[in-house]
Amino acid sequence: TDPRSFAAVDLGASSGRVVVGQVGADELVLEETHRFGNGAVRLPDGLHWDVVGLYREVLTGLRLAADHHPVSVGVDSWAVDYGLLDDDGALLGVPHHYRDRRTDGVAAETAERIGTERLYAVNGMQFLPFNTIFQLEAARGTPQLAAARTLLLIPDLIGYWLTGRTGAEVTNASTTGLLDVAARAWAPDLAAAVGLDPALLPELREPGSVIGALLPETARETGLTDVPVVAVASHDTASAVIGVPATTPDFAYISCGTWSLAGVELDAPRRTEAARRANFTNELGVDGTTRFLRNVMGLWLVSESMRAWGLGPSQLPALLAEAAAEPAFAAVVDPDDPRFMAPGDIPARIGDYCRETGQTPPTGRAAVLRCVMESLALAHRRAIRTAAALTGRDVDLVHIVGGGARNELLCQLTADALGLPVLAGPVEATAIGNILVQARAAGLVGDLPAMRALTAATQGLRRYEPKGPAAPWTAAAARLGWEDC
Ligand code: ADP
Ligand code: LRH
């Protein structure tokens, strides 16, 4: 079969892009046609996403992609956030950003009320304050919810605007907390528990199914004729894990961007009491797989520090080079401390954390970055070791994909902290996963191992061997009270 092209729309929390992938028997070549910034917008009622602005960028990207004659389009984005449609299909209000504070307090209270064990037994989700189910509790009684007829997660909303078709793609639906993860079906009683009419939850669809043709006006605007929108693994992390170039069974992965999503792939959800206590999630993947992982605060700590310093992303590599020359283990923080979640002055909060834990706060930007890199490496170590212990997997290699694969210091420190080799890349694993699911729907690639073999054979990867003694990492973990790893 001749190679064919597919257009991936990948919306991350810090940037969005439209990527065209040409896929053949031994071929996977990417070309980015458009990249644009993304981030929170503060309005008087809290933090939001500019979804209409994002949609305009999507249309621009698709217009540029049209020159490459893609045979289909797929959309993925960050998880959990949603828009509401009224009876006429109009968007009700501006979707909230998951870092908005309206779930403060509400989330824990709601989990307690429903029962944390009961919740986990059904939805298998780690407790994060912004899980959709808790956002809906916080939104209970608002006029928008009263008028709403349909709830759409962000990629499904973009898909609706492109095609006029509603639905809920299942990998992303599994991040709502409203799904029975074993049945791969909505759990109407959980919806009812937060006062949500289950009728708002659209029909579930599986990756690889056709969503629909572009509406005549979107086809005209983008220059894409007879090009369907295909459901991909629309949770960006689900697509990223498809894009992990694993060729051996005992791998772990870290999808490292705004968040570090660190864990292993399982062939079924694992909802043990130990997994619940360790706050491990069971998110659904393609082909019946489960992403058994933990959220680690990730490069948000870097991008938000850069913002506080008034620096742009282009200034990061030079600052990281300076951080690499800073003294090791001067200070470490728990990146998942709730104080780091909301936008604001991250370097000042790191200073506070250090003072409270009897450490000398880092002074200077390079020292702050060094502290963040070691803290993230330590959190990676804890997440991967816990995943291994909870599943009995003898992890022998850690894949790092996403923007973090460009961060040489973090990749090396993660290898050192774990005492395991790290294979870094591809940076655009999410777009690759998006494209490969479309290519499979078109009959061009085989199963998940075949997709991964194609990625491994065609994408540039870099290997980091672990260096240095383990003792300082164990001591640093103990400083955070993490004796168990
Ligand atoms: P998301 O999809 O969550 O928006 P990405 O996977 O695109 O995130 O990763 C973005 C992050 O990658 C940035 O915040 C930055 O820390 C890191 N990054 C990007 N380019 C580089 C680079 N040249 N060197 C080091 N880190 C980089
Ligand atoms: C990463 C991600 C992650 C979710 C978070 C809200 O972009 O989708 O998997 O936990 O955003």
**pLDDT by residue (tens digit) across 198-254?**
999 999 999 999 999 999 999 999 999 999 999 999 999 999 999 999 999 999 999
Ligand 1 centroid from CA 333, angstroms: 21
* pLDDT (average), residues 32-36: 98
Report DSSP state, residue 255: E
Query: How far apart (Å, rounded) are the C-alpha atoms in residues 184 and 173?
Result: 9
**What pLDDT score does 483 carry?**
76
What is the whole-number distance in angstroms between the Cα of residue 318 and the centre of ligand 1? 14
| Interatomic CA distance for residues 423 and 417, integer angstroms | 14
Task: For ligand 1, atom 26, name the residue with the nearest CA.
Answer: 407
Read off the pLDDT of residues 268-321 as tens digits, 9 standing for 90 and up: 999 999 999 999 999 999 999 999 999 999 999 999 999 999 999 999 999 999
- Among 162, 160, 147, 139, CA closest to 202: 160
Pocket test for ligand 2, best of 153, 169, 292, 295 (most atoms within 8 A of CB): 295
70 CA from centroid of ligand 2 (Å): 27
Residue 485, pLDDT > 70, answer no
pLDDT tens for residues 357-410? 999 999 999 999 999 999 999 999 999 999 999 999 999 999 999 999 999 999
Q: What is the per-residue pLDDT across 153-208, written as a single tens digit (0 to 9) for each?
A: 999 999 999 999 999 999 999 999 999 999 999 999 999 999 999 999 999 999 99
Query: Quick one: DSSP state of residue 141?
Result: T
Q: From ligand 2's centre to the CA of 136, what distance in Å? A: 17
The model's pTM is 0.98
- Predicted confidence (pLDDT) at residue 1 exceeds the cutoff of 90: no
Q: For the stretch 395-431, what's the b/e string if a residue is b when 16 or more beta carbons lie within 10 angstroms of its beta carbon? A: bebbbbbbbbbbbebbbbbbbbbbebebbbbbbbbbb
Handedness of CA 321, 326, 328, 331 (dihedral sign): negative
Q: Which of 302, 399, 400, 407 to mutate to test the pocket of ligand 1 (most atoms within 8 A of CB)?
A: 407
Task: Report the nearest-CA residue for atom 19 of ligand 1.
Answer: 403
Residues with a catalytic annotation lie at: 236
- Closest ligand to C-alpha of residue 321 is 1
Tell me, using a 6 A CB cutoff, whether residue 260 lines ligand 1: no
3-state SS track over 5-70: EEEEEEECCCEEEEEEEEEECCEEEEEEEEEEECCCEEECCEEECCHHHHHHHHHHHHHHHHHHCC
How close is the Cα of 3 to the center of ligand 2, in Å?
Answer: 32
Cβ–ligand 1 contact at 338 (below 6 Å): no
- Please give the single-letter amino acid code of residue 189: D
Average pLDDT, the chain: 97
Atom of ligand 2 nearest to the CA of 237: 9
Q: Which long-range contacts (CB under 8 A, 24 or more apart) does 35-41 make?
A: 36/60, 36/61, 38/11, 38/12, 38/13, 38/14, 39/13, 39/14, 40/97, 40/99, 40/343, 41/97
- Asked whether 137 lines ligand 2 (CB < 6 A), one says no
Please report, for residues 131, 261, 294, the alpha-carbon distance to residue 253 in angstroms, rounded to integers and kept in the order given. 22, 8, 11
Alpha carbon separation from 55 to 79, 95, 114 (Å, rounded): 17, 13, 36
pLDDT digits (tens, 9 = 90+) for 51-93: 999 999 999 999 999 999 999 999 999 999 999 999 999 999 9
Q: Which helix (H) or strand (E) holds 399?
A: strand 397-401
pLDDT-based confidence at residue 484 (cuts at 50, 70, 90):
low
pLDDT of 11:
98
Q: For 452-462, what is the mean pLDDT?
A: 98
Model pLDDT, residue 9: 99
Contacts of 119 (CB under 8 A, 6+ apart): 111, 125, 133, 177, 190
Query: Residue 478 is encoded by which pair of tokens?
Result: 């103990």
